[in-house]
């Protein structure tokens, strides 16, 4: 009963380095999301995928790219990390429908020095 699995759990990068955050869900959900969580700011949507093969920008997409590899997997890539991208990143998935709740992974804590 894994739900939404994110890897890695922790990561430290130097400014300018790149990395990919991985996310997979086993609930057969169509929609997947990437959020970042910063103190005092709640969760902000980075990118969203309504279904396999589609992606859309959210509130804070600059500096990020995403790939919806298949129905299960949705990755987030930082091409050139910046200290402003230090945050906790959450992947989530949901059924289709605006009233469907989101199911979250346990997060990736990223520090960019």
Partner 1 sequence: AQSVAQPEDQVNVAEGNPLTVKCTYSVSGNPYLFWYVQYPNRGLQFLLKYITGDNLVKGSYGFEAEFNKSQTSFHLKKPSALVSDSALYFCAVRDRLAGANNLFFGTGTRLTVIP
Q: How many helices (H) and strands (E) does the chain have?
A: 0, 11
Task: Give the shortest CB-25-to-partner 1 separation in angstroms.
Answer: 12
> CA-CA distance, 16 to 10, in Å (whole number)?
18
Contact 2, 105 (CB under 8 A): no
Give 17 or 102: the residue with its C-beta nearer to partner 1: 102
Q: How far apart are CA 95 and CA 81, in angstroms?
A: 31
For the CB of residue 55, give the shortest distance to partner 1 in the complex, in Å. Answer: 10
Which lies closer to partner 1 via its Cβ, residue 42 or residue 53? 42
- Write the Ramachandran bin of 7: left for phi over 0, alpha for psi from -120 to 50, otherwise beta: beta
**Which residues of the shown chain bind partner 1 in the complex (CB under 8 A)?**
4, 31, 33, 40-45, 48, 50, 56, 58, 90, 92, 94, 96-99, 101-107
Among candidate residues 29, 26, 32, 27, the one with its CA nearest the CA of residue 95: 29
Nearer of residues 48 and 64 to partner 1, judged by Cβ: 48
CB of 18 to partner 1, least distance (A): 24
Nearer of residues 87 and 94 to partner 1, judged by Cβ? 94
């Amino acid at each position: 009963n894994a739900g939404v699995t994110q890897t890695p759990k922790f990561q430290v990068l130097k400014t300018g380095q790149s990395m990919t955050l991985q996310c997979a869900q086993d609930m057969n959900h169509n929609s997947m999301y990437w959020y970042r969580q910063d103190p005092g700011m709640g969760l902000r949507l980075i990118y969203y995928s309504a279904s396999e093969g589609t992606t859309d920008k959210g509130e804070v997409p600059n500096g990020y790219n995403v790939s919806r590899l298949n129905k299960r997997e949705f990755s987030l890539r930082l091409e050139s990390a910046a200290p402003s991208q230090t945050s906790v990143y959450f992947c989530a998935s949901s059924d289709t429908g605006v009233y469907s709740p989101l199911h979250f992974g346990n997060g990736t804590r990223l520090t960019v020095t």
